[in-house]
Amino acid sequence: MMAVTAKAFQLWRSRIAPDDTVSDVCRTAGIKRSTLAQQLVRGKVSVGTIIAIARGYSRDPVQALGEFDGYRDLGFGLRPPTDAELVSQVSSIDILRLLVARSEDAERTDEPIGLELAPFPHRNSVRAWVEAIDPGDLRQSLAARTGVARQNVSAQLTAGRLSPELAVEAARIAGVSLTSGLVVTGLLTPGEGGWPGDARGRALEVLTDIELVQLARDRLEVLGKQLRKAELDDGQDQAIWENLG
């Protein structure tokens, strides 16, 4: 189930905002009235809408989501992120900057290098996270357990997206904190999802030099592939524009 049912949503809404109209709720949550109306007509309210409304009414978004079918275990499954997850949310350029910073640390003082990390999610957050938690056959199990076609799962990951349903299910399969997927897809803030603010920096500190170099190599390889693909697509666009534009 991708989203929560309109019926369950209405029940929840009447509990957290008994006196507010739908318009009031939209104003408080900062969402467009037409968006919610459309979701209600279709009978499915998106996870993003629930989170926005929970925030608007100063409710914990994780607890709010936990009141709906498909997400009831969310609160109990809240754990600190693993080191691999944390490192996956450091951008490639920050990994390289850390490498350079360590190379300039001539004294080997072993004092932590206080690098100002770029905020996340970053460009490759979703894919990097899935790779970090993958026990080996994550995409396959994900497709099998959600009924979403495998190509569809792959297409989402290639595009740097993952639906909330898949994000939570991936965390269940991998046995990591159930909110992690919602954090790396940007639906929850790191704070809401139980990711401590300085955790990424600490996860980087414990990386050995070899691990850091190998990580940098892997990231550069991914980046290289992306650049090549982008160049190819760009070449196609240019050919079309130059010849037919």
**The dihedral of CA 53, 194, 152, 225: what is its sign?**
positive
Contact segment (CB under 8 A) with other proteins among 62-70, 104-112, 191-199, 219-227 equals 219-227
Q: How far is the CB of 238 from other proteins (least distance, A)?
A: 10
Taking the C-alpha atoms of residue 15 and residue 31, their distance in angstroms, rounded to an integer, is: 19
Site residues for other proteins, 93-152, by CB under 8 A, read 93-94, 118, 122-123
Q: What is 125-192 written as a DSSP string? A: HHHHHHHHH--S-HHHHHHHHH---HHHHHHHHHTT---HHHHHHHHHHHTS-TTHHHHHTTSS-TTT
Q: How far is the CB of 101 from other proteins (least distance, A)?
A: 16
Contact segment (CB under 8 A) with other proteins among 12-20, 27-35, 55-63, 222-230 equals 222-230
Stated length of the chain: 245
Q: How far is the CB of 118 from other proteins (least distance, A)?
A: 5
Q: Strands 4-5, 44-45: parallel, antiparallel or unpaired by DSSP?
A: antiparallel
Q: Is 155 in the site for other proteins (CB under 8 A)?
A: yes
Q: How far is the CB of 124 from other proteins (least distance, A)?
A: 10
Q: Is 234 in the site for other proteins (CB under 8 A)?
A: yes
Closest CB to other proteins among residues 24, 221? 221
| Dihedral angle computed from the Cα positions of residues 193, 12, 146 and 121, in that order, rounded to the nearest 10 degrees | -30
Closest CB to other proteins among residues 151, 208? 151
At position 118, the amino acid (one-letter code) is A
Nearest CA-CA partner of 139 in 173, 88, 89, 186? 173
Q: Of 49, 91, 156, 180, which lies in the binding site for other proteins, with binding defined by CB under 8 A?
A: 91
Tokens of 121: 């999610």
Closest CB to other proteins among residues 37, 230? 230
Q: How far is the CB of 233 from other proteins (least distance, A)?
A: 5
Nearest CA-CA partner of 175 in 142, 228, 134? 134
What residues line the site for other proteins (CB under 8 A)? 91-94, 118, 122-123, 155, 223, 226-227, 229-230, 232-234, 236-237, 239-245
